[in-house]
Amino acid sequence: MQRNFSELMRKRRSVRAYLDRPVPRATVEEICRLARSAPSGANLQPGHFHVLAGGALADLVAGLQAAIDAGAPQAREYSYFPEPMPPGLKARQRAAGYALYQALGIERRDLDGRRRQFRRNYDFFGAPVGVVVTIDRTMGKGCFMDLGMSLMGFLLAAEAHGLGATGIGALANYGPQAHRLLALPPDQMVVCGLALGWPDPDAPENRFRTERADLAEFTSFRGF
């Protein structure tokens, strides 16, 4: 299972199409344990993974799709992107979206096609395992950073096991609906989702890669 860390980081990508093949519970448990080994301030270990498969996942997906069809308003409980989005970051966002739509053959003006693709967030892209990630509402902002490190651990552990995964920030748009459908405790806030499964190697959305900033754009060195 172990692989070179540099290889894991370079090969990891967001997987948005999966094979119809179950993932053993023992494998998912190990991935969650590895994710939990991420560091956290004062060892608070913030965040909870609500792991769903089979009928439990199908019920959540059906409930979310029904809520969307009924016109449920989006109600994110926390700010994800800067508002307004600065031009430089907006360009990155658009480039990533265009790359995905181009891989899928969706034209820029095909708004219906783009909406259909975005809606796949809410069926976890057909993955056999879906995870709803929550955090205690009383946690401070720094705990979101700690949870993020745990999420990265989850993604890398999935890659190390030969699986694919992607984060689903869009799930928070319907966080209240997910909260109700799963009967979550009142103190839990829906942060995001995760899709997990065996990647479909033939799916075009799994073959494109987004670009990363050059070192000089995000790094400064002093005293070297």
pLDDT at 75: 86
Neighbouring residues of 37: CB distance < 8 A, sequence distance ≥ 6: 153
Q: How far is CA 156 from the centre of its chain?
A: 13
Residue ranges per domain, the chain?
5-212
Can you state the percent helix, strand and coil of the chain, rounding each to 5?
50, 15, 35
In CATH, the architecture of 5-212 is 3-Layer(aba) Sandwich (3.40)
Please list the pLDDT of the chain residue by residue as tens digits (224 residues): 656 999 999 999 999 999 999 999 999 999 999 999 999 999 999 999 999 999 999 999 999 999 999 999 998 788 888 889 999 999 999 999 999 999 999 998 999 999 999 999 999 999 999 999 999 999 999 999 999 999 999 999 999 999 999 999 999 999 999 999 999 999 999 999 999 999 999 999 999 899 999 999 999 999 99
pLDDT at 1: 60
Residue pair 168/76 in contact (Cβ under 8 Å)? The answer is no
Provide the token pair at 86.
């600065």
The CB-side HSE value for 92 (13 A sphere, CA atoms) comes to 9
Sign of CA dihedral 28, 32, 33, 38: positive
